[in-house]
A and B are shown apart, each in its own frame.
Chain A
Amino acid sequence: MDLARRFDVTPSAMASPDEERHPAPAGRRRRSQIGLAFIAPFGALFALVFIVPILYAAYLSLFQERLIGGTTFVGFANYGKLFQDPQFWDGVGRVIRFTLVQVPIMLLFSMALALALDSMRVHGTKFMRATIFLPYAVPAIVSTLMWGFLLGVKYGLFGSLNDALGTDIDPFAPGTTLISIGLMVTWAFTGFNMLIFYAALKAVPRELYEAAAIDGANEFQVVRAIKLPALRGSLVVTIIFSIIGTFQMFNEPQILPTMVANSGVTTFYTPNLYAYNLAFTGSQQGYAAALALVMAAITIAVAYAVQIRGLRNASDQ
């Protein structure tokens, strides 16, 4: 049928429906201008908020602020300095370690909860779905305050626990702070990811389950053969969102030091905290701009790598 169409050279077959409706080239040109008018407000602001700042940061990253001589052009010296800066790599290493541990745990919980709620074998499904999603609505500042007080030794539950048991557990000691931050981040985002998985499971045609039941498949076979494959696409999306989220971690380590002393949070604890401190307390804006750009590049590269891998695996199926 396709072939027949291709060799059919009558004029009516050659004109696509679109051209039939707008035969005059003049009309076509007007249409393109109208489309541009609709997109222009978004496009102009997008340029102001996304494109120009990135270009400006790229420009600034070529300069250094010095006590003597003021701001001087230094070429790529800021980038060279950055790649040899142990404080920067300390932060990068920390967010990578954090991502490798926290993201799999969180997504495993999200997926298990989505499967549990979707199975309709849980009492109070609606209530629990809403409650688990609720932390997503809580601002990071409020969540850090709550968890900071809650886990803190001074006013929190661990203080009471230590008093009662005579133990000396401190969730915000230099060695444990990152785990506590993981607890906060997992708390905030498990529900969000769960709903993404849940939405994907709801999109599975019900007939597939009925057919599986008729074939005598048990619950685990249904999960393995129907539900998990259906979650593959959302898994890629949630991994990418999570990586972008943790690579730019800022709020928790920025707020924590005002709540607990000696938490081990340094001024370069995460790359973004470092960039913030460089730009606003160190007034090394050129260096901070270089850092922000390199971090953005690393994040995009990792996100793309995950996406390409995810797509390749999906097409293998």
Chain B
Amino acid sequence: MRPISSPRAGAGNASGAPIRRSGRGRRLYTVENPKKSTTLTVMTVLFTLYCLLPLVWLVINATKSQADFVSSFGLAPGRDFALWDNIVEVFRYQDGIFSRWLLNTLLYVVVGATVSTFLAALGGYALAKLDFRGKRVFLFVVLGSISVPGIALAIPQFLLFAQLGLTNTPWAVLIPSFINPFGLYLMWVFTAEAVPTGLLEAAKIDGAGEFRTFLRIALPMLAPASVTVLLFSFVSIWNNYFLPLIMLKDPAWYPLTVGINQWNKLGSSAGNGALVQNLVITSALLTIVPLIIAFLSLQRYWQSGLALGAIKG
């Protein structure tokens, strides 16, 4: 920070017109409208290609039949355009279990993300606007838990849930997804910033109870924050692999991630089953399409969530 500190910046502004005129001569180089750089663009494009390569590969290979997949070059189209056949086959294979996995995933995502966001809003509101005993301890423990690795926790969770008879039921996947410490943190910060205490006081003077005040006044103001937390939960639950893998034995309760790997194992080097790589690839594509749509259409909410994450540091 030293060379260009704010006092000096202030001096630059204060001395006024002559300096500003010399700045105008280099308008192209200012922050608002800088000259585009070919070198930087090329470098960024190269990295973008690295990010796109596997996705392009996935799309191309989802259009190939199993025979074409084995025989043709990875980035070239196959002899037949089999995308539609593959999709139909994905939904037909093993008595249509893929639709079951899709519905399971939707169940885990919709219920898990909704409940976790609501609990986070409720808790964040309490932390930001209400007093209660043990608040500091609570904050310390919950924020500390963010750094506990989820997978290190999953095995103890499994052992406990097995003891409670919850394993191999949807609850084993749902209950851990209800708790999102990072979501609670985001809600706490958002509430403290975006909900004016005076408004809450006014509602209470008008006779609204605490819970009504929260539902009618605070929650609508937290809508953008809720979308951010929903989105984070949505992606992490949709992508969760380890937790359902250990909690669920019955394929009828699998989410997509575990199900796809089940199919992948069929044709593995160790297994003797039929190779269904075309189905594995097509189902993988079907799995990420909803996520990519949610991602691209709700981009600005990521931005705001990560901005707060950055402020945290």
A→B interface (CB under 8 Å): 21, 28, 31-39, 41-43, 45-46, 48-54, 56-57, 60, 109, 112-113, 116-117, 119-124, 128, 130-143, 145-147, 149-150, 155-157, 160, 187, 190-191, 195-200, 202-203, 206-215, 217, 221-222, 225-226, 229, 232-237, 240, 244, 247-248, 250-251, 255, 258-261, 272, 275-276, 279-280, 285, 288-289, 292-293, 295-296, 299-300, 303-304, 310, 317
Q: Indicate if B148 sits at the interface (CB-CB under 8 A).
A: yes
Name the B residues within 8 Å of A21 (CB-CB).
Answer: 201
B31: which A residues are within 8 A, CB to CB? 120, 206, 209-210, 213
- Looking across the interface, which residue of chain B has its beta carbon closest to that of A109? B47
Number of B residues with CB within 8 Å of any CB on chain A? 119
Known pairs A215-B12, A258-B261 / 7 extra A-B pairs, C-beta < 8 Å: A56-B163, A146-B55, A213-B29, A226-B4, A234-B309, A248-B150, A248-B151
Q: In the complex, are the beta carbons of B313 and A234 less than 8 A apart?
A: yes
A38–B214 CB distance below 8 A:
yes
- Determine if A35 and B132 form an interchain contact, defined as CB atoms under 8 angstroms apart: yes
A32 touches B132 (CB 8 A): yes
Q: Is the CB of B268 within 8 A of A258?
A: yes
Rounded to whole Å, the gap between the CB of B2 and the closest CB of chain A is 7
Check B4 against A299 for contact (C-beta < 8 Å).
Answer: no
- A134 near B246 with CB under 8 A, answer no
A136 → chain B closest CB, angstroms: 8
Residues of A within 8 A of B43 (CB): 112, 116
Q: Which residues of B contact A160 (CB under 8 A)?
A: 73-74
Within the complex, the shortest CB–CB distance from B272 to chain A, in Å, comes to 13
Chain B: which residue is nearest A212 at the CB level?
B4
- The residues of A that contact B57 with a CB separation of less than 8 Å are 146, 149-150
B220 at the interface (CB under 8 A from A): no
- Give chain B nearest CB distance to A274 CB in angstroms: 11
Residues B261 and A141 in contact, CB atoms below 8 Å apart = yes
Q: Mark B12-24, 1 if CB is under 8 A from A, else 0.
A: 1100000110010
A212 CA / B281 CA spacing, docked (Å): 51
Set of chain B residues within 8 Å of A293, measured between Cβ atoms: 152, 156
A114 to nearest B CB, angstroms? 10
